[in-house]
Amino acid sequence: MLRSEKRDFVLGLEDVYKQSGSVIVTHYHGLTVKQLTSLRRDLRAQDAKFKIVKNTLSKIAADKADIGSISTLLSGPTAIAYSKDPLAAAKTVVKFAKTNEQLKIIGGIVNHQVFNTQEIQLLAELPSLDELRSKIISLIEAPATKIVGVLKAPASKFARLFQAYADKH
């Protein structure tokens, strides 16, 4: 890699670290090109990305992005999965790792906090932001539906009473 290419790589990675809600550090040794392509496709569907990184340059970018604490995770054949949504990359990588033993989750950074492997796996089990929104809407909507039913009930009873009275006369 030329010096200018290294500088561009560090700048690009620094932007990734600053703008991502989560960065999941993995070891990809042993994965085939087909498996890597499949992982990238799965991540892209979740608006996340997967990038193979050079550890030395990644450590420099992490220091510049004020997340130097990730440097301890950067050794060996390293790749990162990242996304703006803190859960998207974690969910996809953990799901992929369950079926592909060659992908090892080392840890990550979520909202500028270092997470270990177990914490990343727990994070992946959390419901997504869209799932939480739908649950909140259903909780808010349920009482309104009950109120409509309660308000409708006396009116329908009143209408049946009038109908019964009209039928008698």
Q: Give the pLDDT confidence of 7-44 residue by residue, as tens digits.
A: 898 999 899 888 888 899 999 998 999 999 999 999 99
pLDDT at 146: 64
Find the mean pLDDT for residues 66-89: 88
Q: How confident is the model at residue 156 (pLDDT cuts 50, 70, 90)?
A: low
Pair of tokens at residue 63? 């220091």
> Residue 82: its pLDDT value, please?
93
pLDDT tens digits, one per residue of 85-141 = 888 899 999 999 999 989 999 999 888 888 998 999 988 888 877 777 887 887 777
Residue 69 has pLDDT above 60, yes or no: yes
List own/partner pairs for 57-61 with CB under 8 A and 24 or more apart. 57/6, 57/9, 57/10, 57/13, 58/13, 60/10, 61/9, 61/10, 61/11, 61/13, 61/14, 61/16, 61/17
This prediction has a pTM of 0.74
DSSP 3-state of 42: helix
Architecture of domain 3-126 in CATH?
Answer: 2-Layer Sandwich (3.30)
